[in-house]
């Protein structure tokens, strides 16, 4: 576990559309280059629903649908099929839903991809980056450290056919070493140097995320709240390019 991360493709930047309404989200989308990846999360999806995803996909954008699914296997498999049918490229579910749930979802994706030529990949949530050891222990009981939990949940996801995980930059290298270079790691909690962490507990710069081996960087406020979002995106791409 002491080797340098294998080098190192250029990570893709995913812009988190954390907006309360679709109009505001599409105002930002129109200001950014074509071919950009977007994360549609719980807030925007609950407001705007599938039409938001379909519009992005129809316009040729790549969609990461961050619904963090967590339910019984049959229900999660059904939601996974529905997401794949909309053409989303990445979809999240909680690794803590257990092996049967993860397997049901990965079987559903495999089937959808084979039938329709879709290219949907599943990402497991291990431990939210807003949790640290203390807050995780308050949920799971004493001694439930973040690092241990991330490793265990990433391994479970991989064994269950999931394509990758969402994890903080701090865990990225360990996940790659444990699960292999092809196992995707998507890292939120990205901040440009000089920016505050806000509500994130574990943050890193784009360059550090790249050197840790991240495949995708999820960036929200550093782009969406910038005076010039397009320039902010360019700055991040330049840092990892």
Give catalytic residue positions. Answer: 68
Sign of the dihedral through C-alpha 5, 163, 96, 200:
positive
CB of 125 to ligand C5P, least distance (A): 6
Nearer to ligand C5P, 26 or 111 (CB): 26
CB of 209 to ligand C5P, least distance (A): 12
CB of 182 to ligand C5P, least distance (A): 21
Identify the three-state secondary structure at position 12. Answer: strand
Nearer to ligand C5P, 112 or 167 (CB): 167
CB of 114 to ligand C5P, least distance (A): 28
Nearer to ligand C5P, 171 or 211 (CB): 171
| Contact criterion met (CB below 8 Å) for 144 and 86 | no
Give, in order, the Cα–Cα distances in Å from 120 to each of 108, 115, 134, 191, 240. 10, 12, 35, 27, 25
> Residue 127: which of 75, 78, 167, 82 has the closest Cα?
167
CB of 110 to ligand C5P, least distance (A): 24
Nearer to ligand C5P, 112 or 156 (CB): 156
Nearer to ligand C5P, 112 or 209 (CB): 209
Nearer to ligand C5P, 64 or 160 (CB): 64
Binding region for ligand C5P (CB under 6 A): 16, 18, 39, 41, 125, 128-129, 166, 188-190, 200, 218-222
Q: Which residue is closest to ligand C5P by CB?
A: 220
CB of 220 to ligand C5P, least distance (A): 3
């Amino acid at each position: 576990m002491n080797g340098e991360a294998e080098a190192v493709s250029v990570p893709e930047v995913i812009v988190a559309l954390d907006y309360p309404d679709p109009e505001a989200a599409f105002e930002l989308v129109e200001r950014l280059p074509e071919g950009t990846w977007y994360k549609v999360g719980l807030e925007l999806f609950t407001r705007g629903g599938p039409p938001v995803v379909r519009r992005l996909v129809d316009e040729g954008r790549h969609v990461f649908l961050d619904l963090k699914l967590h339910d019984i296997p049959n229900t999660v498999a059904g939601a996974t099929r529905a997401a794949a049918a909309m053409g989303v490229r990445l979809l999240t579910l909680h690794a803590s839903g257990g092996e049967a749930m993860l397997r049901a979802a990965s079987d559903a994706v495999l089937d959808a991809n084979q039938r329709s030529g879709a290219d949907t990949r599943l990402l497991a949530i291990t431990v939210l980056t807003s949790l640290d050891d203390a807050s995780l222990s308050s949920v799971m009981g004493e001694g439930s450290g973040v690092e241990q939990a991330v490793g265990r949940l990433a391994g479970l996801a991989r064994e269950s056919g999931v394509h990758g995980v969402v994890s903080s930059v701090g865990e990225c290298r360990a996940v790659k070493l444990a699960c292999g270079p092809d196992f995707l790691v998507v890292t939120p909690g990205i901040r440009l140097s000089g920016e505050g962490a806000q509500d994130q507990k574990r943050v890193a710069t784009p360059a550090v995320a790249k050197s840790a081996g991240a495949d995708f960087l999820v960036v929200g406020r550093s782009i969406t709240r910038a005076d010039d979002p397009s320039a902010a995106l360019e700055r991040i791409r330049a840092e990892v390019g």
